[in-house]
Structures are given as structure tokens and as C-alpha cells.
Amino acid sequence: MDTRVASLARSERVYAAVKARVIACEFPQGQRILLEPVARSLGVSTTPVREAMNRLAAEELVIKAPCKGFVALRLTRQRLSGHYDITRLLLTHTLERLDTQTRRTLPVFEPIATALHRLNRRHLTDDRVLAACTGEMFLAIAKLGTNADIVCAIRRANDRLHYPRTLECRLLPEVQEELVRLCELLLARRCDDLLRGIHDYHDTRIALLSPLLELAQQRDQR
């Protein structure tokens, strides 16, 4: 039993490590992901890496191609625009349907207050941390509702937008301040202003798709 538990723990550790690299777009877009170097960097055989890749393929985070193995997804305008649009749609849907009692219940908003505290504590210079904070805030908003499918969909969108959100930080000077404002609006129960803020947030990102995709391409060419 101990051996089985250890094996499962190792598989989860490898999966988490490989997924972190995938959502950070560390593998060149549209190219085959070689399992041997990944396994070597993690100090494991290729077996748990292949298992992790199969799980990620099932989650549509990588492509499993016949006779080619696993291939990193390519960022495209259509794909990114779709992820931004579905995030906007689901967040506004959740906020518009919050009942009065939920809006008055402080414990429900504790994750948002925690996120705001982190954002106000110091100036964040790590793009990855800001991207993670964005995902955490949007997930917390989704959890204010009672629809588990929406929560799951926001998690999926967060995975797919993690790397683009790091690039946003290079194109927009006040990402942290923007996140602070959104958190403050929610905690103040100013839902109409928050809805406008979420629309503005996503309009700004969609308008940046061309330079964002150029940045991603430049990284792959290094």
C-alpha cells in the first residue's frame, strides 16, 4: 500500500510540474514535446511524464498527435479571444445573479479580501505572480455563485490564459492597480461598477491581441 501511495504521489508531483510548464508555454508553440528531456529535468523516467501528458491532452492543454507524440498548442487570435470572451461571459453571469443575501454575507468574500491584501501589501514585479492573482480573483468571483460548471470553466480558462496574462503585464503599465480596483468594487458590493470594470478589463485585453501574439512569437524565436 505504501508503494502505491508513493507512486500516486510521484505521479501527481510530475503532473503538477509538467502542467506548470505547459501553461507557462515553456515548450515552443506547435512543436513536439520531447519526453526524455522533461523526464531528465524532473529526475524521473518517461513513464510518469507520458502519463501526465496524456492527462493534459485529455484536458486539451496539449495535442496528442498520431505518429508524432505530444505537441504544444499554438496561441492564436481566435483561441485567445474565445478564452477572454468566455471568462467575461461567465463572470458577468455570476455577478448578475448574486442574490441579496449573498451580497451581504462577508465570509463569502474572504478570498477576495485575501487577494486584495496580497495586492496592496507590496508592488509585484513578477508577471507570473500577477497572472496567478488574476486567476485567483476570477475563480473566487465564480465561486460566489452555485454553478459548479462555471467554476470548472473558469479554472480551464485560467490555465489557458496564464501565459497571456504574463505578457499583458509587459504591455499594460497598471495591471496590479486594475486588479486592486476590481477587488475593491466587489468588496464594496458595487456590482454595476464591477460589471463595467470587468467589461473594460476584457475589452482592453482583446484590443492587445496583436502585440501580445507578437511577444509570444518573439519568445519562441529565441
> Is 80 a residue whose pLDDT tops 90?
yes
Are 46 and 146 contained in the same domain?
A: no
Domain end, chosen from 26, 57, 72, is at: 72
Asked if residue 6 has pLDDT above 80, the reply is no
Q: What pLDDT shows up at residue 131?
A: 94
> Are 90 and 24 in the same domain?
no
Of 49-63, 183-197, 200-214, the one with minimum mean pLDDT is 183-197
Q: What's the CA gap between 193 and 38, in Å, rounded?
A: 46
Q: Residue 103's CB: how many other CB atoms inside 10 A? A: 14
| pLDDT surpasses 70 at 123 | yes
What percentage of the chain reaches a pLDDT higher than 70? 93
- pLDDT-derived band at 106 (thresholds 50, 70, 90) equals very low
Q: Dump pLDDT digits (tens) for 135-190.
A: 999 998 898 888 999 999 999 999 999 999 999 999 998 999 999 999 998 888 88
For 25, the domain range is: 2-72
Number of domain units in the chain: 2
Report the CATH number that the domain containing residue 68 is assigned in CATH. 1.10.10.10
What phi and psi, each to the nearest 5 degrees, are found at residue 167? -70, -35
> Are 34 and 174 a contacting pair, CB within 8 Å?
no
Q: Cell triple for residue 66?
A: 498520431
